[in-house]
Amino acid sequence: MSRIFVTGSSEGLGLMAGGLLSEQGHDVVLHARNTARAQDAQHALRGAGVIIGDVSTIAGTRSVAEQANALGRFDAVIHNVAVGYKEPRRVETSDGLPQVFATNVLAPYILTALMRRPQRLIYLSSVLHRSTTAQLDDVLWQKRRWDGTKAYSETKLYDTMLAFAIARRWPDVFSNALEPGWVPTKMGSSEAPDDINQAHLTQAWLAVSDDALVTGQYFYHNQRLAPNPQAEDSDLQDQLIAVCERQTQLALPN
C-alpha cells in the first residue's frame, strides 16, 4: 500500500484519480481549496483525509505543505491542481501574481520544495503545452497583452519543465509529466472529445505501478510521448527554477 497526496482533488480528474487509487487499496489524501469543497470531497470518497488550503497564494500553499508534512512522508504526490484558460483578463492573486501562473506553476513548485521528498512526483501538463513557447522574461504577463489560452498553455509547458528539472536534480525521485487528454471536465467543457474514463488512469499508474519506475518522461494514456522540445532544455529548466525561486523567496533543495 502506498500513501498518495493528490492536489486539487475535490472534484474532476483529481478526485477520479484519488478514487481509483483508494479502490486499489492505497491510502489517499485529497486536497480542497476551502471547507465546503473539502466536505464535498469527503462525501465523494469516504475515509479519505482532506487537506484544506488555497494554493493560489504563496501563504496558502505553504500551509498545505505544512499540513501534508504533519501527516508524514508520502510515497507519491500528484500535482493535479490547476485553473483554466478562459479568463478574459489577467486575474491577480493577493500576492500580485497572475492566478493561472500562481496556481498552476508556483503551487507545485512550493509543494515540491517544502514537502518531505516522496519517491514519485507526477505533474499534470496538457496537449496545449506543445503549441506554445517559454516566455521566461515575462511569466507574469506584465509586458504582453493578456491571452488566457496562451497563459494557460505556457503554465503547462512550465509544469513539464519542472518535472524534468526535478528528475535531473533529484535522481532518487521518479519525476514525470503527463497529459490526460482534452476531456469533458469543468475546465475542459462539454465539447471536449477525449474519453473521460481514460483521463485519470495515467497519473494513478505513475503513482504506484512497478512498471512506471522511470523518470524525466512524458506520458499520455500510459505511453511515452515526446513533449515540447523546450521542456527538455536544461538551461530553460534552470531559468524556470530561478524564476520560481525569485517569486516565492524559496530555494529548491539540492
Q: What is the set of domains in the chain, with CATH numbers?
A: 3-248 (3.40.50.720)
Nearest-angstrom CA–CA distance, 70 and 153:
34
Which of 123, 150, 156, 218 does the annotation list as catalytic? Answer: 156
Active site (annotated) includes residue 143: no
Which of 123, 152, 158, 218 does the annotation list as catalytic? Answer: 152
Active site (annotated) includes residue 152: yes
The residue-averaged pLDDT of 136-146 equals 97
pLDDT tens for 89-133 read: 899 999 999 999 999 999 999 999 999 999 999 999 999 999 999
**Least confident piece of the model among 69-78, 130-139, 197-206:** 197-206
- Is the confidence at residue 232, as pLDDT, over 60? yes
Nearest-angstrom CA–CA distance, 149 and 229:
20
Nearest-angstrom CA–CA distance, 96 and 131:
27
Nearest-angstrom CA–CA distance, 103 and 227:
22
